[in-house]
Amino acid sequence: MKLTSKGRYAVMALVDLARFDNINPVSLRDISLRQGISLDYLEQIFYKLKKNEIVKSIRGTQGGYVLNKNPNDIKLTNIFHAVDEKVKTVQCKKESKKGCNGKATKCITHNLWDELEIHINTFFENKSLKDLLNNNKETRV
Amino acid sequence: MKLTSKGRYAVMALVDLARFDNINPVSLRDISLRQGISLDYLEQIFYKLKKNEIVKSIRGTQGGYVLNKNPNDIKLTNIFHAVDEKVKTVQCKKESKKGCNGKATKCITHNLWDELEIHINTFFENKSLKDLLNNNKETRV
DNA sequence: TCTAAACTTGACCATTTTAGTCAGGTATGT
DNA sequence: ACATACCTGACTAAAATGGTCAAGTTTAGA
């Protein structure tokens, strides 16, 4: 169980973006340099963030990205969903007729994984970009 | 973010084991058949569970495995730890002097991942094999 | 107008991890 | 003695990860 770097980078980049977008659009190049994330990889990630209406792009020189919503309304769950970070812990489907392991019944730990997923998702749903911004200010030197 | 099958199988196998070990040791062969998990793979998993003193083995004909503790004292966290299921969400180390991304400071989302880990671990620490047994009884037909 | 900055998009790929299999043991109850 | 069952290491195919590369399009500003 681990988070993939795509989801992690997405959050890092958005926090970075949120700290600067009041004044000007922020270029991926800047984010890349500040956060140490490959520019090409960032482009892939922002392509998805844009499709999911989390950011807007502004083209041309001095262009870049800006948030498309209030930081308070961007929950972590939105971000992860946008970059295809799956929180599914187990592949047994809820509605599958055949049950989990090819048998007729649900596997004996099925309920557990459902519960775990809910637990994790709740955490992500309650956490917004705004929370991270505040948190970061507190711990900055 | 997903759970690996090793951790999942370990929990499934132990729940299965717990339901039968009152009478006799349970052979991996039986668990393999009931849960649809490859015998060879189960052996790998139980090797680790044994090293971590979660189960005991009884050799010879009619041998098998039994729990080494009360189901109430076997927490999910113990099981996952035994089979090397990592809950670490991110590789930035707490004590690393260099910071996370090779820079001098902690990455701006560092605290978030710490918090998430704690959240998940708490869930696993509070969940014992006994809980799963009860839960399973309720939902069985 | 021209050009460079910046976004857009798809294709590709090396490495690592996962989810096992295979093989050849060793121990022990009957 | 022998079948059953545990014990252990080595190996591997397939998938996921974490990117890179290439070839654009769009637009602001000189």
Q: Note the pLDDT of residue B97.
A: 43
Distance CA B85, CA B31 (A): 21
Q: Note the pLDDT of residue B95.
A: 43
Query: In chain B, whose CA is at the least distance from the CA of A10?
Result: B109
Distance CA A46, CA A66 (A): 11
Quote the distance between the C-alpha of residue A85 and its chain's center. Answer: 7
Please, which pLDDT band fits residue B103 given cuts at 50, 70 and 90? low
Question: pLDDT tens, A66-76?
Answer: 999 999 999 99
User: In sequence order, what are the residues at sequence separation of 6 or more whose Cβ sits closer than 8 angstroms to the Cβ of residue A34?
Assistant: A16
Q: Note the pLDDT of residue B53.
A: 94
Distance CA B120, CA B88 (A): 10
| Residue B34, phi-psi category: left (phi > 0), alpha (psi -120 to 50), beta (remainder) | alpha
- Domain ranges across chain A: 5-139
How far from A103 is each of A114, B11, B35, B133, B139, CA to CA, in Å?
Answer: 19, 18, 9, 19, 16
How far from B76 is each of A45, B33, B34, B122, CA to CA, in Å?
Answer: 34, 23, 21, 10
B36 to chain A: which residues are within 8 Å by CB?
Answer: 101-103
B8 to chain A: which residues are within 8 Å by CB?
Answer: 90, 109, 113
Helix (H, G, I), strand (E, B) or coil at A70: coil
User: In sequence order, what are the residues at sequence separation of 6 or more whose Cβ sits closer than 8 angstroms to the Cβ of residue A56?
Assistant: A50, A65, A66, A67, A68
Q: Which two tokens stand for residue B80?
A: 């996952």
Q: How far is the CA of A100 from the C1' of C28 (A)?
A: 37
Distance CA B87, CA B81 (A): 9
Q: Are B1 and A87 in contact (CB under 8 A)?
A: yes
**Measuring CA to CA, which residue among B96, B85, B73 is closest to residue B3?**
B85
Distance CA B116, CA A124 (A): 9
Distance CA B44, CA B63 (A): 17
Distance CA A82, CA B61 (A): 55
- pLDDT averaged over every residue in chain B: 85
Q: Are B88 and B117 in contact (CB under 8 A)?
A: yes
| Residue B36, phi-psi category: left (phi > 0), alpha (psi -120 to 50), beta (remainder) | left
Question: pLDDT tens, A43-100?
Answer: 999 999 999 999 999 999 889 999 999 999 999 999 999 997 777 777 665 544 445 6
Instruction: Tell if the CB–CB gap between B112 and A11 is shorter than 8 Å.
Output: yes
CATH class of B5-139: mainly alpha
Q: Note the pLDDT of residue A99.
A: 56
| Interface residues, strand C, Cβ cutoff 7 Å | A 2, 25-29, 40, 43-44, 46-47, 50-51, 57-65; B 4-6, 38-41, 43-44, 58-63
In chain A, % of residues over pLDDT 70: 84
Q: Note the pLDDT of residue A107.
A: 79
Alpha helices in chain B (DSSP H): 5-20, 28-35, 39-51, 76-82, 110-125, 129-139
Q: Note the pLDDT of residue A97.
A: 44
Q: Note the pLDDT of residue B138.
A: 58
